[in-house]
Every structure is written in C-alpha cells, then in structure tokens.
Amino acid sequence: MKICVIVAHPDDVEISAFGTLKIFQEAGHEIFTVTMTKGNLQGSKRIEESKNALWEFINNYMNYEDSNLKETCDLGIIEEINPDLVITHAENDYHNDHKNLSKAVSNFCSFKFPVVYFDNFMGVNSSPKIFIDISKFKADKKEAIMKHKSQNPERLVYASFLLGEFRAAQCGYRNKQFECFDFNPRFPFMDVRDLMPKSAPIVNRKNYFFTE
C-alpha cells in the first residue's frame, strides 16, 4: 500500500505517527509524508530538521506560511501520490493549522481516499477507535523527535510518551507505548481499520496492568 501522511508542521509526523509508520514500513508499505507549512514562526531550520528525522520516507514540503494555513490550501499532491490511505490531523485539535488542514483533507479526499485522523495532542477532546502498540519502535520515535533541536524536543518526547503510556493503560497494558487514531465512517469507507496495523490484543481481564 501507499500511505500518505499529511501534516501542518515539521515534527507533527514524528509526534503523532512515527511508530505506526515504522510498522507500515516494516510490512513493506510505501510511506509518503507531506508537510504543508515551513514552521517558520518557531525557527528557520525546521524543514532541515524534518528531513533529518524522516530520512527513511518519501517526503514533500509545500512551504505555506506557519499559522496561516487555510481550508483552501492546494492538496493536489494527494492525487499525485494516489495513496491507499491518508492520515492527518483531527478537526478538533488545538492548533488552527491542524483544524483547517483536517477539514481541507477530508473535503478533498471525500469518497476518493480513506482518511484516518491522529489522536489529539495530549489526548484532549479525543476518543480514538484504533490503538496500535508501537513499543518496538519507541527508541526510533524518540530519536526522530530529538532531531528537532530548535523545538526543545525533550518536552515533545515527554508529552508524546506520556500520552502513549496512558493510551496503553486504557487497554490494560503497562510499560507500553501506543499511538492512536480515529476515523469518521463515510461512504464508501465505513470501516477503515483493516487498512491500519493490527490493534493490540485485548488483555485477560484478570491480568490488566500486569500485561507487558
């Protein structure tokens, strides 16, 4: 499959989906990333940092201005890639660029491409339906986030791993890292979970929090 992850800013891929993309990659799928803005309000080296972090994938940079992304942004690159699955921000995430891009991607993909949405930052106002165990790639995810030296990346690692451990605990696991996603059923993509890596197995109800 071709997986297209389209994000607003450099570092969004690494924070929200890097472990899941590594699982896709390990299974032989092609990974394409599209970063819409330069992230220039937070530093001038962000695209370079992103390239260093995502070097294993096929990356595209659209160079819109940071914090000025509109629902009318050009998303023709999605058709150029022609993916089997699109992954992007949730419409109710905290940043306006994330919200506007989510609406734009949903409208553009319509009935042409299935779309899955990231868990919101720190899980705020988010109730994901897909829970993926990325523990195997925890170190890889940390290394990728740490490439964003201009962003004080330790805080991003902390926030990402805190949410990942919480999502794992919601499924009865401890000492695990999960990445989570949501989808909105719509014709003809009523259930897209089969396109994602397999969710973590349900733990024995007598052993929850003791399953590692």
pLDDT for 79 equals 97
Q: Which parts of the chain register pLDDT below 50?
A: none
- How high is the pLDDT of residue 3? 98
User: Does residue 30 contact residue 1 with C-beta atoms inside 8 Å?
Assistant: yes
**pLDDT of the residue at 200:** 82
- The Cα–Cα gap between 41 and 65 comes to 8
- Lookup: tokens for 45: 């080296």
The Cα 42–Cα 53 span in angstroms is 17
* Strand ranges of the sheet holding 85-88, from the earlier edge strand across to the other edge: 58-64, 30-37, 2-7, 85-88, 115-118, 178-182, 130-133
Check residue 203 and give its pLDDT. 78
DSSP secondary structure, 62-99, as one string: EEEPTT---TT---HHHHHH--SEEEE--TTSSSHHHH
The answer to whether the beta carbons of residues 168 and 133 sit under 8 Å apart is yes
- Give 79-112 pLDDT, tens digit per residue: 999 999 999 999 999 999 999 999 999 999 999 9
Q: What is the per-residue pLDDT for 72?
A: 95
Looking at residue 210, its pLDDT comes to 64
